[in-house]
Amino acid sequence: MHVREADPEDAEAVAAVARESWHAAYGGFLSADAIDATVDEWYDPAGLRRDIAGDGAFLVAEADASGATDAGGAGTDGGDDDAGDADEGTDADTDDRLLGFAHAGYSAGAGNVVLRRIYVRPDAWGEGVGTALVRATARRFLADHDRLSAVVLADNEVGRSFYDSLGFETVGRQTTSLGGEEREERIVAADLADLADAGGGAG
């Protein structure tokens, strides 16, 4: 498994990962229709392509050509370890190998770097993919910033456990409207220096 910069051509695969992850993580408290409608709106491929080409960092994690997802030591530098593995694959092969993604950028309002979204395919949960993405993201911003924050639904036990495992602390709470209902969100934050050195095994 390796982490690299996203390419605009990854947009459809990113949207597919988001849909799988949303159904797995939120299916217990959101309807399938509400999830699909939200993903259709928030992960429109055209919008994703703009986000990928925009400021900040948009990273993806891929399985190696062999299909391996072992994350031991993967993502340590954001991904110059591609070694051309994708050259022999088809577009479908590439979509199958995309395991997760992370999108982050500095927010003047928050006063720190914000992890805007991070999702991993459910069949790769627990294999270190999310940790590799967070670690690579932290390394991108470490030279100029100190903190990384994120927002996670209070009902999302998988997401909360992931952030807890990386040492994020709850620093605030807010509400959002999702699926026609008000939902509590937790704002969590951690030091970029700690995250850049985060070990594998979580996420």
Write the pLDDT tens digit of every residue in 57-112: 999 999 987 655 544 333 333 333 332 333 333 344 445 689 999 999 999 999 99
Rounded CA-CA distance 11/55 in Å is 16
Residues facing residue 4 across a β-bridge: 60
Rounded CA-CA distance 70/81 in Å is 14
> What does the pLDDT read at residue 66?
62
SS3 assignment, position 88: helix
> What does the pLDDT read at residue 75?
31
Residue ranges in the chain modelled with pLDDT below 50: 70-94, 200-202
- How remote is the C-alpha of 119 from its chain's centroid? 4
Rounded CA-CA distance 132/51 in Å is 21
Q: What is the pTM of this model?
A: 0.83
Locate tokens 């993919």: which residue?
129
> What does the pLDDT read at residue 82?
32
Domains of the chain: 2-196 (3.40.630.30)
| Percent of all residues in the chain with a pLDDT value above 70, rounded to a whole number | 82
Q: What is the secondary structure of 130-197 as a DSSP string?
A: HHHHHHHHHHHHTTT--EEEEEEETT-HHHHHHHHHTT-EEEEEEEEEETTEEEEEEEEEEEHHHHHT
Nearest to 60 by CA among 25, 8, 125: 8
